[in-house]
């Protein structure tokens, strides 16, 4: 866009009223705000204050808004008026178009009706059986403008028109002229010369209808009528335009009709040319009947160089013929005026050449977008001489002489004219009708027609051949059928002889089955093809059916009867099968007519009992078919075994009718067709990798579709059907069989069935939830990956739980399902009893299931969008476990984690306890497996540390060492004893470092902390050994690094034969000489370990032991081991009796109650813990 154009566009915007108003208001606002303070009237400044200016600006804004609103209102009114006018114009155009369409439809309907009437008239006079009435006469189309003489042309053609007048077949758009030699369809001038859409549409549909009537040869020719006065009145350009329109109509005719019909240009009203009457008045009848025209087609004598040359050549010949006729006429005519008129006719006629030339060029010339029409020639006719002459020569000479055409025109002939057709009879009889066969189809249409004829002939030939083949096959099939029946009969006799050897029925069923199969096939055998009346298989089939019925009654029935009795007597027979057997048994005894369906149900079980080695699905089907046929055979009713019947009924009653109906409902087709609900379809792609089933089942093994939300409705309908069916068959149980009883039992059975379904529904989903676990078992790497997947987002466990929650959320179905079943039952009962009863209570399966799993759903599904459910929180809390497992799987030292695994597992255990009971096992299994992995790794690591560091020291200190081994002569080193069992010793350090979180020391004996299901897995013996070590530490160390035991020795009683008693512990000697008891304080170990420990009595007695002495760090304990404990106070005092020879002494050892190594032996029971 140029700069000038842009400026003009912006100026146009500025010239808008709204923009001008806005600019004016802005200008006034600036003036008020900036110049207003300068305006003064004396000392008064009305706009001096800012508030006054703001008020003025507000007023301007109100004025701007009000004026703008008025402008917009006015503009909106104008736009609304414009829109209303446009809408009205559109409605008028639509109405006009609808009227035009209706008129066009009415006209084409009228055309079809007229064509139908014309076809009816043609059939009326048609007597040829081998030629269709529509092709009996040639069809021609007559085109031309209104007033061109089309109707006169047809009526003056010399053809017999029996239906003209009152019986004419015509419509506003066309007229059907039916003659004895042709049918001419005269079209209205507006269809050929007008370009109106309505006229064009009518023209095309008329062509289409003609083609539908005569598809093989729609038309035999097309006549284009042009009047002389019309030609002479046209200007050259008008003639070209009219010729172009005619050519377009002809092209459309060729395209729609798919036929290239010959075209004849007929120039009518030749009598309008000056001198015609004078020149041709005395023609004979033969001369008037001859065709007068010029050929265009080369085969008629036209110039082969082209249509223009043919027109020049032919027209010159016509003019020459006229001039020859003129010469004679001028000599014989006495009247001068008539001679003048006759003299001017050749010149007047020669003027037509220029007018006809555009038509010949347009109609006969070929161009690149279409083929030329099959133009045959140009013909001149005169139908009736009743019009005024047209002096064309005067009009041509008037400009040359400067005179008017009227002044140069010859005076008209005042004499009377005779009305006679000129050049018409020969035109139709000699030129047009003989060329009727030229109007053939175009090449594509002709090829299609020939292909269609060939296809029809081929189909007819095939049909004839097929009929002959059918007849032949029918005859051959009849012969083959008779031969086959004969062969089957011979084979059946042999099989019957095998099944009944010596006239006695065999105990083997296989031969009987072979006989039954053979006779059944023989009774059902039919010819493969149609018989066409060549033979009748009915008599043979009837005899074969009788033989089959006898085999069923005499061969098959004994086996069936024995099978039924054995099944009813067998206590292991399933209840549903027993019921069916009892039902069929009662039917055979005459209780009810045998049912084919009931009999067919027993086929598979019969095969299982009698076909032990040759059983297959095909055998089951064959036996079931024989059972079904047995039900339709008239067999004398055997006597019923009442005791057997009552026993069977009792067994069925013990099983319960509701469970029996439940079993039957599960076998219904709709129930069996339900697709299984598989967990693998609801856990994502990673679900099978992370999750596992505790039972070892596959995730492809799911829950029957009947126990899903979609299956609930199916099962409700199936339960009603099964209950009704079983209630209808309760006559088998000996129950009353009235309609009211059946309906009452239906309700009871249905309630019991629904209750079984409810329990099974909940059990299926509870079992699945309880069977869920995590894969990986105790493999750290696999378990870490599984925990990462389960705790991830999306979580396969969460997806599975949500899917399960959807299947157990039946709340929206609870009302509809229960009420529908009960309403149906109430309706049926009211129909039976003609009364209305209150609806009975039915088991509300949806409500019960929903209530049972309510806590599960609330824990799985968030209460609102964007919130977290309990399961979401629990899954998120599992994330630290993955880090611990990954640390273990990567080979890290689990002990580096310290007590964190135990703490997290304990926290998760508490969190899991808050989940619904049916969700807890799943997460408990995860925690157990994680605890097993982390605890197992810790146990192995602790075992490794213990074995490599503590156990060698412990073994060296205690094994084979006194005081741990009382029989050993080797003492345990006090240093080793301190390093092993001291407060800071190896065992205490190991215990406090690694085991302290797991030990409950508040009780005696110690125990692993309660709730530690994720402990280290060490047995209680290990904990007891550590407790013994702690007791040793408490007794011997008292929180010191070295062992120290404070105790007091008090001699209580000395043998009277002894004068004094001495005890020496580490060099510290105490004596007793039969006085009051005196205690001596000692400390172990003494400072002088070399001194050992000893005790003696004086005086010495010869031959007896007078002294006890021991050496080493444990000399004191070795010395006291030789005494006997007489009395042991549970707290602090121990009384010993020592014997030296025959003399005895009593001593009391007193030590702190918690640190008294003499009151209880804490050393010898100790053994190194084995981890």
Whether pLDDT at 1002 is above 60: yes
CA distance linking residue 164 with residue 159, whole number of Å = 12
Mean pLDDT of 956-975: 90
One domain for residues 864 and 738 = yes
* Confidence at residue 837, expressed as pLDDT on a 0 to 100 scale: 42
Residue 194 lies inside a defined structural domain of this protein: yes
| Residue 893 pLDDT > 70 | no
Q: Tell me, what's the pLDDT at 1009?
A: 72
The average pLDDT across 791-817 equals 82
Is 887 among the domain residues? no
* Number of neighbours of residue 202 by Cβ within 10 angstroms: 26
Q: State pTM to two decimals.
A: 0.48
| E strand segments, 522-573 | none
Q: What percentage of the chain has pLDDT greater than the value 70?
A: 85
Task: Mark whether 1120 and 996 lie in a shared domain.
Answer: no
Share of the chain above pLDDT 90, in %: 8
Residue labelled with tokens 């005494």: 1123
Query: What is each CA distance from 1051 to 9, 113, 1091, 1114, 1122, in whole angstroms?
Result: 135, 154, 21, 22, 16
- Amino acid 836: pLDDT: 39
Domain membership flag for residue 209: yes
| Per-residue pLDDT, 832 | 44
Confidence band for 302, pLDDT divided at 50, 70 and 90: low
Q: How many helices (H) and strands (E) does the chain have?
A: 44, 21
User: 1096 is written with which tokens?
Assistant: 């003696």
Give the best-scoring range by mean pLDDT among 27-41, 469-483, 793-807: 793-807
At which of 39, 69, 92 does a domain end?
92
Read off the pLDDT of each residue in 829-850 and give the average, rounded to a whole number: 60
What is residue 833's predicted lDDT score, i.e. its pLDDT? Answer: 45
Given a cut of 80, is residue 851 above it in pLDDT? yes
Work out the mean pLDDT of the chain and round it to a whole number. 81
Which range has the worst mean pLDDT, 648-652, 655-659, 1082-1086, 1106-1110?
A: 655-659
Same domain, 1016 and 1060: no
- 552-601 pLDDT, tens digit each: 888 888 888 888 888 888 888 888 888 888 888 888 888 888 888 888 88
Q: Is the pLDDT of residue 1015 over 90?
A: no
pLDDT band at 838 (very low <50, low <70, confident <90, very high): very low
- pLDDT tens column, 1022-1077: 888 888 999 999 889 988 889 999 999 999 888 888 999 999 998 899 999 988 88
pLDDT at 74 over 70: yes
Predicted pLDDT at 380: 92
Residue 215 corresponds to which tokens in the numbers above?
């598809």
Residue 1152, helix vs strand vs coil: coil
Same domain, 1058 and 1000: no
Q: Are residues 76 and 210 in the same domain?
A: no
Which H or E element spans position 1072?
strand 1068-1072
At residue 879, the pLDDT reads 80
Domain identity same for 853 and 725: yes
On the question of pLDDT at 830 being above 90, the answer is no
Residue 1168 lies in a domain: no
Nearest CA-CA partner of 104 in 218, 211, 214, 196: 196
The two tokens of residue 63 are 């004025």
Q: What local confidence, expressed as pLDDT, does residue 1083 receive?
A: 92
The whole domain housing 33 covers: 3-92
Q: Tell me: pLDDT of 98 over 90.
A: no
Q: What mean pLDDT comes out for the span 660-676? A: 84
Q: Which 3 state secondary structure label does DSSP give 711?
A: helix
Domain boundary among 842, 862, 877: 877
Residue 466 lies in a domain: no
Q: Are residues 177 and 71 in the same domain?
A: no
Q: β-strands 1107-1110, 1093-1098: how paired?
A: antiparallel
User: For the residues 50-58, what does the mean pLDDT come to?
Assistant: 85
Q: What pairing do the DSSP bridges indicate for beta strands 1045-1054 and 1079-1084?
A: antiparallel
Please tell me whether residues 676 and 712 are part of one structural domain: yes
Q: What is the 3-state secondary structure (H, E, C) of 77-138?
A: HHHHHHHHHHHHHHHHHHHHHHHHHHHHHHHHHHHHHHHHHHHHHHHHCCCCCCCCHHHCCC
Alpha-carbon radius of gyration of the chain? 64
Mean pLDDT confidence for 321-334: 82
Q: Mean per-residue pLDDT for 788-804?
A: 87
Q: What is residue 305's predicted lDDT score, i.e. its pLDDT?
A: 67
The whole-angstrom separation of Cα 245 and Cα 384 is 28
**Residues 138 and 285 placed together within one structural domain of the fold:** yes
Mean pLDDT computed over 313-324: 86
pLDDT surpasses 90 at 181: no
Burial (0-12, 13-18, 19+ Cβ within 10 Å), 404: exposed
Q: Which two tokens stand for residue 243?
A: 């010729």
Instruction: Say what the pLDDT of residue 141 is.
Output: 92
Q: Which of 655, 680, 705 is the last residue of a domain?
A: 655
Instruction: Name the residue among 979, 878, 995, 958 with its Cα closest to residue 926.
Output: 878
- How many domains does the chain divide into? 6
Do residues 760 and 631 both lie within one domain?
Answer: no
Instruction: Note the pLDDT of residue 814.
Output: 61
Q: What per-residue confidence (pLDDT) applies to 1047?
A: 92
Same domain, 678 and 642: no
Beta strand 139-144 with 183-187 is: parallel
**Which backbone phi and psi does 563 adopt, to 5 degrees?**
-65, -45
Q: Give yes or no: residues 800 and 949 share one domain.
A: no
Checking 22-31 for CB contacts under 8 A at 24+ apart, the result is 22/64, 25/60, 25/61, 25/63, 25/64, 28/60, 29/57, 29/60
Dump pLDDT digits (tens) for 402-449: 555 555 556 566 655 667 888 888 888 888 888 888 877 777 877 777
For residue 691, the 8-state DSSP code is: E
pLDDT score for 310: 80
Tell me what pLDDT residue 1107 has. Answer: 93
In a domain, 1161, yes or no: no
Q: H/E/C letters for each residue in 433-471?
A: HHHHHHCCECHHHHHHHHHHHHHHHHHHHHHHHHHHHHH
Look at residue 398 in the predicted model and tell me its pLDDT.
Answer: 54
Candidate ranges 101-105, 533-537, 1141-1145; pick with highest mean pLDDT: 1141-1145
Q: Dump pLDDT digits (tens) for 1118-1168.
A: 999 999 988 766 667 899 999 998 899 999 999 988 888 888 888 888 989
Residue 834 lies in a domain: yes
Q: Is 924 helix (H, G, I), strand (E, B) or coil?
A: helix
Residue 200 lies inside a defined structural domain of this protein:
yes
């Amino acid at each position: 866009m140029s700069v000038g154009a842009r400026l003009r566009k912006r100026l146009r915007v500025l010239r808008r009223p709204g923009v001008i108003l806005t600019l004016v208001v802005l200008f006034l606002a600036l003036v008020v705000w900036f110049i207003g303070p300068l305006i003064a009237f004396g000392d008064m400044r009305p706009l001096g204050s800012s508030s006054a200016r703001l008020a003025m600006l507000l007023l301007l804004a109100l004025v701007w808004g009000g004026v703008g609103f008025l402008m917009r209102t006015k503009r909106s009114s104008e736009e609304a008026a414009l829109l209303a006018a446009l809408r009205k114009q559109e409605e008028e155009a639509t109405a006009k178009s609808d009227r035009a369409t209706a008129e066009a439809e009415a006209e084409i309907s009228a055309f079809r009706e007229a064509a139908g009437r014309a076809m009816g008239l043609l059939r009326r006079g048609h007597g040829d059986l081998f030629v269709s009435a529509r092709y009996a006469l040639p069809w021609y189309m007559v085109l031309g403008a209104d007033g061109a003489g089309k109707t006169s042309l047809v009526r003056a053609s010399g053809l017999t028109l029996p239906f003209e007048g009152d019986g004419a077949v015509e419509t506003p758009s066309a007229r059907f002229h039916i003659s004895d030699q042709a049918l001419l369809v005269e079209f209205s001038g507006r269809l050929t010369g007008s370009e109106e859409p309505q006229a064009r549409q009518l023209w095309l549909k008329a062509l289409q209808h003609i083609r539908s009537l005569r598809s093989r040869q729609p038309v035999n020719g097309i006549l284009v009528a042009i009047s002389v006065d019309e030609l002479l009145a046209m200007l050259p350009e008008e003639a070209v335009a009219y010729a172009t329109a005619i050519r377009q109509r002809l092209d459309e005719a060729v395209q729609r009709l798919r036929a290239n019909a010959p075209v004849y240009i007929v120039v009518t009203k030749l009598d309008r040319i000056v001198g015609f009457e004078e020149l041709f008045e005395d023609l004979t009848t033969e001369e008037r009947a001859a065709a007068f025209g010029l050929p265009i087609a080369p085969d008629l004598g036209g110039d082969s160089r082209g249509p223009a040359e043919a027109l020049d050549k032919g027209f010159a010949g016509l003019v020459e013929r006229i001039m020859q006729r003129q010469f004679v006429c001028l000599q014989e005519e006495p009247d001068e005026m008539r001679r003048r008129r006759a003299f001017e006719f050749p010149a007047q006629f020669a003027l037509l050449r220029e007018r006809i030339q555009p038509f010949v060029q347009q109609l006969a010339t070929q161009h690149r977008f279409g083929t030329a029409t099959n133009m045959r020639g140009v013909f001149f006719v005169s139908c009736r001489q009743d019009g005024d002459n047209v002096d064309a020569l005067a009009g041509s000479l008037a400009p040359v002489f400067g005179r008017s055409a009227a002044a140069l025109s010859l005076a008209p002939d005042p004499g009377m004219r005779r009305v006679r057709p000129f050049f018409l009879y020969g035109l139709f009889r000699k030129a047009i009708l003989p060329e009727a066969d030229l109007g053939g189809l175009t090449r594509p249409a002709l090829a299609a027609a020939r292909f269609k004829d060939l296809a029809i002939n081929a189909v007819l030939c095939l049909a004839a051949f097929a009929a002959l083949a059918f007849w032949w096959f029918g005859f051959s099939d009849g012969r083959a059928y008779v031969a086959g029946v004969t062969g089957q009969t011979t084979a059946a006799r042999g099989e019957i002889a095998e099944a009944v050897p010596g006239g006695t029925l065999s105990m083997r069923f296989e031969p009987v089955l072979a006989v039954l199969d053979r006779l059944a096939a023989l009774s059902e055998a039919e010819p493969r093809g149609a018989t066409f009346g060549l033979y009748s298989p009915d008599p043979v089939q009837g005899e074969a059916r009788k033989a089959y019925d006898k085999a069923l009654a005499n061969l098959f029935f004994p086996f069936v009867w024995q099978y039924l009795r054995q099944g009813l007597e067998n206590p292991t027979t399933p209840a549903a099968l027993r019921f069916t057997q009892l039902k069929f048994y009662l039917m055979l005894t005459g209780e009810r007519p045998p049912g084919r369906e009931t009999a067919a149900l027993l086929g598979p079980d019969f095969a299982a009992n009698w076909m032990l080695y040759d059983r297959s699905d095909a055998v089951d089907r064959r036996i079931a078919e024989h059972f079904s046929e047995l039900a339709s055979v008239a067999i004398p009713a055997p006597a019923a075994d009442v005791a057997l019947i009552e026993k069977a009924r009792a067994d069925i009653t013990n099983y319960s009718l509701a469970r029996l109906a439940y079993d039957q409902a599960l076998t219904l087709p709709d129930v069996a067709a339900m697709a299984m609900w598989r967990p693998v379809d609801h856990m994502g792609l990673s679900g099978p990798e992370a999750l596992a089933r505790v039972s070892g089942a596959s995730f492809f093994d799911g829950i029957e579709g009947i126990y899903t939300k979609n299956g609930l409705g199916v099962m409700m309908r199936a339960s009603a059907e099964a209950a009704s069916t079983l209630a209808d068959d309760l006559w088998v149980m000996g129950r009353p069989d009235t309609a009211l009883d059946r309906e009452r039992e239906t309700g009871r059975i249905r309630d019991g069935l629904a209750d079984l379904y409810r329990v099974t529904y909940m059990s299926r989903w509870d079992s699945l939830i309880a069977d869920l676990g995590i894969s990986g078992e105790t493999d750290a790497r696999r378990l870490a990956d599984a925990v990462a997947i389960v705790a991830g987002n999306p979580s396969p466990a969460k997806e599975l739980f949500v899917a399960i929650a959807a299947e157990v959320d039946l709340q929206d179905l609870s009302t509809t399902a229960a009420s529908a079943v009960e309403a149906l039952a109430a309706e049926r009962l009211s129909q039976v009893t003609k009364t209305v009863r209150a609806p009975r209570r039915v088991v509300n399966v949806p409500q019960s299931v929903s209530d049972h799993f309510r806590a599960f759903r609330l824990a799985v599904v968030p209460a609102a969008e964007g919130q977290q459910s309990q399961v979401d929180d629990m899954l998120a809390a599992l994330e630290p476990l993955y880090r611990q497992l990954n640390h273990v799987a990567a080979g890290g030292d689990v002990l580096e984690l310290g007590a964190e695994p135990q703490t997290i597992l304990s926290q998760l255990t508490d969190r899991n306890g808050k989940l619904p009971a049916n969700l807890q096992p799943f997460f408990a299994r995860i925690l157990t497996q994680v605890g097993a992995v982390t605890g197992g790794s810790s146990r192995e690591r602790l075992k490794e540390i213990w074995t490599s560091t503590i156990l060698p020291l412990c073994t060296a200190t205690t094994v084979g060492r006194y005081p741990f081994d009382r029989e050993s002569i080797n003492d345990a080193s006090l240093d080793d004893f301190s390093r092993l069992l001291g407060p800071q010793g190896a065992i205490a350090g190991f215990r406090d470092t690694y085991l302290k979180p797991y030990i409950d020391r508040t009780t005696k004996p110690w125990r692993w902390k309660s709730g530690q299901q994720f402990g280290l897995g060490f047995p209680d013996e290990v904990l007891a050994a550590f407790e013994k070590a702690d007791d040793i530490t408490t007794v011997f160390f008292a929180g010191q690094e070295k062992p120290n035991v404070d105790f007091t020795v008090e001699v209580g009683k000395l043998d009277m034969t002894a004068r004094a008693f001495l005890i020496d512990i580490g060099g510290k000697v105490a004596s007793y000489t039969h006085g009051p008891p005196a205690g001596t304080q000692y400390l172990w170990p003494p400072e002088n370990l070399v001194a050992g420990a000893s005790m003696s009595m004086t005086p010495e007695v010869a031959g007896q032991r007078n002294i006890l002495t021991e050496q080493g760090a444990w000399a004191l304990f070795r010395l006291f081991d030789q005494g006997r404990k007489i009395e042991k106070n549970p707290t602090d005092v121990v009384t010993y009796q020592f014997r030296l020879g025959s003399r005895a002494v009593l001593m009391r050892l007193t030590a702190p109650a918690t640190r008294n190594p003499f009151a209880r032996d804490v050393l010898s029971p100790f053994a190194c813990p084995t981890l």
